[in-house]
Structure 1
Amino acid sequence: MQDPTRPNAPQDRLARLQISGRPGLAEKTVRQADLDLLANAPAGFLDTTHFDTVRFPPPPWADEVFARAARDGALAYTGYRGHPDILKTVADTVGTFVGIALDPERNVILTPGTQGGLFASLGALVQEGDRVALMDPDYLFSERIIRFLGAEAGHVPLRLDADDPHPDFDVLEAEFAHRGARLFVFSHPNNPTGAVFSEAVIGRIAELANRYEVTVLVDELYARLIHEGSFTHLAAQPGMFERTVTLLGPSKTESLSGYRLGVVVAPAAIAMRIENVLTITALRAPAYAQHLLTCWLRDDHAWLAERIAAFSALRTLTNHKLRQLPWLKLKPQRGTAYAWVDASALGLPGPVVAEALLTEASVLVSPGYQFGPASGGHFRVCYARDEAEWSSALDRTVRTLDKLANKRALSGWIA
C-alpha cells in the first residue's frame, strides 16, 4: 500500500499529474503556476479560458428536449454505451458527418462529456510504460492523463509558420519508427491554436499510421467550428477506421457543456475496451441529457450557420485589435474560437505576462505553458464572448502588453 505521507513517491498516480520543467516556471509545476496566477485575480475579471455561454446559449430546443426526457423516469438508466435509440440516431448523423458507416451497437459510445471520452479512451489504449506521441501544443489534459496512466509523452511540434499547418513529420515518424510510440494523440482542429489540417496533411498522418501500425486518437470536438474551407476526418481515410478513435461532442460550438455529453467513435474491439473503462468511472453519459443528441447534427444547421458567422466576426475583431502591436505575432487559424498569441518578443516568462494581463487588464488568459513545452511565450484567449465586453477587454489587453513592451524596450530586451 502506498504510504500517504509520501505523496511524491514514483508509484503515486496523483504525483504523475504534476507536470514540471516547462520554460519560465522555474521549479513550479503547471498546476502550481495556475493556482498562483488565480491567487492574484481581481474581482470581476474576464475569464477567457472558456466560451461565454450567456452570450452564446445552447440551441433553443435543448431545454425542451431535456425537460421532456427528465419527465419520464423510465429513461433514468441506460446501457453503458447509451440508450439504443439514441445510439442509432447518433450512428446515422455522426456517420454522415465523418463520412463512414457506423454500427450503433459496435462503434459508438456516449460519454459524460468529451473529457470523459478522452479519459476512457486513453485508459483503454495506454499501458504502464508506454510512449505516446502527442502534438505540441495540444490540450493540456491529454498529457496529464497519459502521465496518470504511467506512460510517457513524446512531443511532436506543430508547425504553424507555413500556409499549411502540420505536425513535424520527421519527428512524428521518428516517434513511430525509433522511439516506440504506438499511439498518436492530437486535437483537430487544434486546441489551442485553432489550426485545421489540409486533406494532404491528414493523408500524410494516415500514411504514417498505416505504415507503422499505429493507433490514433483524434479529438475533433471543434470539427463543426470551421470559419472557412473544408474539414477532413482522419477516420474516413483509407485503412484508418480500424486504427482510429474519434472524439466528438456538442459542448463548445453548441454551448451544451453543462449537459456533459461526448461521443466516441471507434472500431469494435477498441470500443469494447473503452466501455469497460467507462463502467468503472461514470457508468454512462447523463441519461436524460443523452436525448439532446437526437437533434444535434440533424436539426441545427441554420442555427449553426448563424453562430459561426458571429464567431467569425469576433475573430476579425480580435485580429484587428491585437495587430495594433507590430511585435505581437498572431496568425488566426481556420477553426475554433481561440486566438493563439505569440508574445515571446517580450522576452518575459509566460507567468509574468499572464499575471500582468490579469492584474492590470483584468483579463484571465490561458498561458502557453499549459499546452506543451515549446509554448512558453504564448497565450490563448477564447473570443466567444459578448462583443462589446470583448472589444473593451481587447483594448485593455493591448494597453497592458504595450506597457510591458515599453518597459522591456527601455532595458534593451524587446525584440
Structure 2
Amino acid sequence: MKNSHIAKRYWDADESQLAASADLAASMDDLINFTIGDPDIITDERIIQGAFEDAKAGYTRYTESVGLKELREEIAKYYKDEYNHKVGLDEIMVTTSACQGMWLVLEAILDEGDEVIIPSPYFPPYSDQVKLAGGVSVYLPLEEDEDYQLNVEKLEQLITKKTKAVIINTPNNPIGSCLSRETLEKIGEMAGKHDILVIADDIYTLYSYEMPFIPTATLQGLAERTITLGSFSKDYAMTGWRIGYIIAKPEFIGVIKSINENNVYSAPSISQRAAIHALRLRKEIQPGLLQEFKKRSYYAYERLNKLKGVHVMEPKGTFYLFPNIKETGLTSAQITEKLIKEAHVAVVPGSAFGPGGEGYLRIAVTLGVEKMAEAFDRIEEMDIFR
C-alpha cells in the first residue's frame, strides 16, 4: 500500500501466497488444510508441565540476552552427544524461532548490495529477509531430474565478488528432499575456495528418512564458515513456543546479540525452559514423532501418485511433499483454486516458493491419515485427476 507515512520499501509488499492460502483455509468450515507446516500434534505433556512448574518457580523474567546458560549448555551437550561436535557456550544464541534467527544472521553479515545465493524453490521469507537486510537474492535452481541435489558447478557460476553467503536447507521445505553428504562436502569445498559463508537452516533435523541427519557444520572445513539455525518448532512439535537458536563463531554471536538487544532482547524465559525439557526428553519424545510423520508422508506419496497427471518424489525428509502437476496443463495457482472450490482441500501453489516452483504444489502432511484419506477421496472425484 502506497502511503507517504509508510516506508517506501514496503509499498509493494503483498501478502504472501503462503499466508493467503492459510487465511482462505480458515474461512471454510469443511475445508481440509494442507497449507501451513504446523503439526496437529500437541507439545508433549511433560514439556508443558515442566515449563509450567518452572514458571511457578519464578522463571518469568528476562534471561541473559544470549539465552539461559542452562539451555545453551543443553544445546552444546546435544551436539556433542548426537554428532560428536563440540560447540562452545559463546557460540550459541537463543532466539525467538529460527525465522527470527535468519533475520538476525542476515542483518549481521550483509552490507548494502551483498549477494546471497538461495537454492530455489525455497522457504519464502528467505528472499524478503535478504532484501530487508540490504542484500540481493540470487537464485540457484534445484532440479527434479537431479534429485534436487544442489548443483555445485552451477553454484560456482553464480558466485561473484559481492557474494557473501549461500543458504542451504536440508531436509528441505518445500520439496521434502535431502542433500547427500557428498553434495554437502562439495558445497563446503566451494565455500572455502571463494571464502563465502554457509547458512544452514537446520530445522527439520529429526525428519531425515533415508539416512541420519548430518549437520553441515560437522563436515571437514565447514565449522569455521557455517552459521547454523536450529529450532524446536518441528522437531518437538513446539511451533507456538517460538524458540530457536543460532550457532556461529563468537565474533558473529557478539554482533547478533547486539542487534537482538534492540529487537526483543531475549527469548521468552518460559519457552527457554520448555526447550530445556525437550532436549532432555528427546529420546522419549522424538521416535514417535518421526514414525508418525514418516507414515503420513508415505501415505500421501502413494495417494498422490495414483492421480492422473501427478507424480511426486519418494519422501526423503520433512513432512512436505512437492508433487509435479505439469501434465494437467494448469498452473499451480489454477490447480490450487480448483482444489479449494471443488474438493474443499487447501494446498499451497508452487509459485509461492520462488523460481522453479511453478508446476508444483506443496502439501504439508500435518493432519492424521484418516483426515488425509478424506481429502484424497475428494480429490480423486475431481474430473481433472480422473
Other-structure match for 1:111? 95
Per-residue Cα deviation, 1:41-78 (whole angstroms, up to 9, x for no partner): 53332221234644x22122111111012113355111
CA contact (8 A) 1:318 1:383 kept: yes
- Structure 1 residue 289: Cα displacement: 1.2
What is the Cα deviation at residue 327 of structure 1?
A: 2.5
C-alpha separation in 2, matches of 1:52 and 1:210: 36
Partners of 2:18 and 2:271 in 1: how far apart?
Answer: 35
Mapped contact 1:107–1:265 kept (Cα < 8 A): yes
Q: 1:96 to 1:209 in 2, by over 3 A?
A: farther
What's the Cα RMSD here? 2.3
The one of 18, 21, 30 aligned to 1:44: 30
Contact 1:321-1:398 at 8 Å conserved across structures? no
Distance 1:53 1:69 in 2: 25
Whether contact under 8 Å (2:96, 2:268) holds in the other structure is: yes
- Distance in 1 (alpha carbons) for counterparts of 2:345 and 2:309: 20
Query: Structure 1 residues 141 and 383 mapped into 2: Cα distance closer, same or farther (>3 Å)?
Result: same
Q: Residue 224 of structure 1 aligns to which amino acid in structure 2?
A: L
User: Are residues 1:377 and 2:377 paired?
Assistant: no
Q: Is the 8 A contact 2:113 2:162 kept in 1?
A: no
> Which residue pairs with 1:328 in the alignment?
310
Question: Which residue of structure 2 aligns with residue 12 of structure 1?
Answer: 8
What is the SS of the residue equivalent to 1:218?
strand
Do the aligned residues in 2 keep the contact of 1:33 with 1:351 (CA within 8 Å)?
Answer: no
Deviation track 1:214-238 (CA, whole Å, cap 9, x = no partner) reads 0111101001112232222111112
Match of 2:158 in 1: 175
TM-score of the two chains, using structure 2 as the length reference: 0.92
Pairing 1:107-146 to 2, within 5 Å after superposition: 107-146=91-130
Secondary structure, aligned partner of 2:315: coil
In structure 2, distance between residues paired with 1:249 and 1:304: 14
Seen in structure 2, the aligned counterparts of structure 1 residues 128 and 15 have a Cα distance that, compared at 3 Å, is farther
Cα distance in 1 for partners of 2:184, 2:21 equals 39
Pick the aligned partner of 1:92 from 67, 77, 83: 77
Deviation at 1:305, TM superposition (A): 1.3
SS in 2 for 1:341: coil
| Counterpart residue type for residue 13 of structure 1 | R
Query: How far apart, CA to CA, are the structure 1 residues paired with 2:59 and 2:22?
Result: 46
User: Residue 115 of structure 1: CA displacement?
Assistant: 1.3
Query: 1:114 offset after TM fit, Å?
Result: 1.4
Q: Deviations over 1:267-289 (max 9, x none)?
A: 11111121122112211111111
Structure 2 CA distance, aligned partners of 1:352 and 1:30?
A: 18
- 1:404 matched residue in structure 2: 384
Shift of the 395–127 alpha-carbon distance from structure 1 to 2, 3 Å rule, reads farther
Deviations 1:82-130 (A, max 9, x none): 11122112221134334421111x1001101111111111111222211
Flag the 1:249–1:291 CA change in 2: closer, same or farther, 3 A. same
Aligned to 2:327: 345
- Is 2:58 the partner of 1:66? no
Contact 1:354–1:367 (CA<8 Å) still a contact in 2? yes
Q: Deviations over 1:193-220 (max 9, x none)?
A: 1111111011001010011100111101
Gaps of 5+ in 2: none
State the alpha-carbon separation in 1 of the partners of residues 292 and 110 from structure 2.
39
Taking structure 1 as reference, are residues 151 and 15 closer, same or farther at Cα in structure 2, changes over 3 Å only?
Answer: farther
What letter corresponds to residue 152 of structure 2 in structure 1? F
C-alpha distance in 1, partners of 2:307/2:348? 20
Distance in 2 (CA, whole Å) between partners of 1:277 and 1:208 is 29
| Structure 1 unaligned spans of 5+ | 19-28, 407-415
TM-score after normalising by structure 1:
0.86
Query: Contact conserved, 1:120 with 1:277, CA < 8 A, in 2?
Result: yes
- Tell me which residue corresponds to 1:260: 242
Query: What SS does the corresponding residue of 1:375 show, helix, strand or coil?
Result: coil
Secondary structure of 2:366's match? coil
- Equivalences for 1:130-279 in 2 at 5 Å? 130-162=114-146, 165-176=148-159, 178=160, 180-279=162-261
Query: Counterpart in 1 of 2:66?
Result: 81
In structure 2, do the counterparts of structure 1 residues 132 and 51 end up closer, same or farther at CA, with 3 Å as the change threshold?
closer
Seen in structure 2, the aligned counterparts of structure 1 residues 46 and 210 have a Cα distance that, compared at 3 Å, is same
Q: Tell me how far apart the structure 1 counterparts of residues 34 and 267 of structure 2 sit (CA, whole Å).
A: 27
- Which segment drifts farther, 307-316 or 258-267? 307-316
| Gap change, CA 1:50 and 1:38, over 3 Å in 2 | closer
CA apart distance, 1:382: 0.9
Partner SS, residue 205 of structure 1: helix
Contact between 1:183 and 1:216, CA under 8 Å: does it hold in 2? yes
| CA–CA distance in structure 1, aligned partners of residues 133 and 183 of structure 2 | 29
Contact 1:117 1:263 survives alignment (8 Å): yes
CA change 1:278–1:34 in 2 (3 A) is closer
Q: Paired residue for 2:299, among 296, 307, 317?
A: 317
Question: 2-side partners of 1:205 and 1:398: how far apart?
Answer: 41
Structure 1 residue 33, shift from structure 2 partner: 9.0
Which of 258, 283, 295 lines up with 2:265 in the alignment? 283
How far apart, CA to CA, are the structure 2 residues paired with 1:288 and 1:339?
33
Amino acid at match of 2:36: H
Q: Counterparts of 1:398 and 1:391 in 2: how far apart (Å)?
A: 10
